[in-house]
Structure 1
Amino acid sequence: MVAGHSIYTSSDCGKIEKEDSWYLESYQKNPGQAKTFVKHIEEGVEIVDRDEDALLLFSGGETRKDAGPRSEAQSYWAVADYKGWFVAEIYKTMMFMLFNTKCCQIAAAAAL
């Protein structure tokens, strides 16, 4: 499980390692914080890639109202997808979990 700690808010996917592209709380505003989020996402994908029985869960809900209607889990998924870290084999079995205050949703990603 990769625990979400922020929400990616930029419409420009080329800025994923920039702090101003993430909705950060004051205590999170440190140089390199965005790169840390991206590295955690990458490591989660790499673990699943090495183990065919592994399941990757991105957790995190819509915890920051001002970040818009996007969850931490959705943000992490979008970053991994943009980076091209999901290979066909992973898409066949990949699932991610979205936790929010209303319900718990599980969605399966299918290969295109």
Structure 2
Amino acid sequence: MLIQNLTNIPGIELVGYADGENDALEQLSSNHCDVLILDIRLKQGNGVNLLRSLNSLPNININVKVIFTNNASDTYRRACTQYGVAHFFDKSTDFLQLRSLMNKLASSITIS
């Protein structure tokens, strides 16, 4: 539902989807993306470890990192901010804010 809803925004194109840490790293290594929307919980690994890995890989450049999760504790917020997350949203209450952010980003990010 998230993918369908966000890809209906003009200028938004899905370049990949992964449900695990390793698959996400592999895709991000071979495909450029401007915005990464990530959950804390993944089927394999977790979002915080993925963020840590991304910070140590200089060849992966993501303009905006977004967390969209049910695990919206202050501890996770601080950890994610440490790894470059600009926006942190709670799945249960913040979908409209995520959609609004994506609308703004779609009109402001220059696609490479």
TM-score normalised per structure 1:
0.35
TM-score, normalised to structure 2's length? 0.35
